[in-house]
Chains A and B, each alone.
Chain A
Amino acid sequence: DAKTTQPPSMDCAEGRAANLPCNHSTISGNEYVYWYRQIHSQGPQYIIHGLKNNETNEMASLIITEDRKSSTLILPHATLRDTAVYYCIVSSLNTNAGKSTFGDGTTLTVKP
């Protein structure tokens, strides 16, 4: 699986948009970009995923560059409960090869 690079930490003001970047320059054609988050001492929570088109769901938006070498997770109106470690992962859908390798993630701190 391709490796991802994320900034170690970011701050965001409550109510503002949080934009979390991720570099995945070695992503291959069949690999999707997934985002998870982990709140302290809990299991990771799925947020969103995409292949090449931008995606939006009730939690967030995912913007993937045209060359697919980077992406940005957008939390449109961050709340204090969004404080967590956010992981960007690339993985294929093929079950045998589709293991998720977690990088160090970005610790997002939402401040009042």
Chain B
Amino acid sequence: GAVVSQHPSRVICKSGTSVKIECRSLDFQATTMFWYRQFPKKSLMLMATSNEGSKATYEQGVEKDKFLINHASLTLSTLTVTSAHPEDSSFYICSARGVGGRDYEQYFGPGTRLTVT
């Protein structure tokens, strides 16, 4: 099946700094990518949907100036957490939806564990 990678898998940063998380579709072109966050023992919460070459659509309550999403190519989307604070510590997961073949499926990345100290 299709593979989605995320980098880094874990990151620790100091409060006030920015962190960039990359999401790549390795063997298919992803026209749409989704970003989720997940707190311990909770379900995934959709943060935003991004289509290649256009601005991301953010879910209600998600600050677009704090969580910058760029989907510059059909294989790469990035999430930048700006001015991170301890409450931003979470598990961030991306998923990608592709063109052709089994494009009804969302393929999920392995997640990125962000810890803000």
Contact = CB atoms under 8 A, between A and B. Distances in A.
Contacts of A98: 32, 97
Interface residues of B, number: 26
Contacts, number: 54
A96 B57 CA distance: 10
Interface in B86-117: 91, 93, 95, 97, 104-111, 113
A87 B43 contact: yes
Contacts of B51: 95-96
Interface in B16-55: 31-32, 34, 36, 43-46, 49, 51
A76 to B, nearest CB: 20
A99 interface: yes
B44 A99 contact: no
A100 B109 contact: no
Given A49-B105, A93-B104, A103-B43, A43 B93 contact: yes
26 contacts: A32-B104, A36-B108, A38-B44, A41-B111, A42-B110, A42-B111, A43-B6, A43-B93, A43-B95, A43-B111, A44-B95, A46-B1, A46-B108, A49-B104, A87-B43, A95-B31, A95-B32, A95-B51, A95-B97, A96-B51, A98-B97, A99-B34, A100-B46, A102-B43, A102-B45, A104-B43
